[in-house]
Amino acid sequence: MKALVPVTLIICGTILVSLPYLDSTISMNNMTALILATKSTVNLTGPLTRDYYTYSALGGFLMILAGALLALRKTDVQKA
């Protein structure tokens, strides 16, 4: 059961890193569809700030690093 912790950290960190970029892609596709459908001017500012992208990527990378270090530590303990 404890071996799942590093894997979970790596998976959650990867999701945390990729979510802002997925949100950006989806919102841009929705904005493009809205512009084409209404043929009017729309506000193109994104709902998420640049800080959100930075902190999300930093948090995700730290989770991935923690998961990798835990996985390495568990394999070293099992060898001894």
- How high is the mean pLDDT in each 10-residue block of the chain (80 residues)? 80 89 83 82 69 88 91 67
CA 77 to chain centre: 30
The count of domains in the chain is 1
Do residues 14 and 72 touch, judged by C-beta distance below 8 A? no
How high is the pLDDT of residue 31? 79
Instruction: Quote the pLDDT of residue 1.
Output: 47
Can you give the residue range of the structural domain that contains 58? Answer: 4-79
What does the pLDDT read at residue 41? 73
Task: Report the pLDDT value the prediction gives residue 45, as an integer from 0 to 100.
Answer: 66
The residues, ordered by sequence, that sit 6+ positions from 29 with a Cβ below 8 Å of its Cβ are none
* Sign of the torsion formed by the C-alpha atoms of 30, 32, 37 and 38: positive
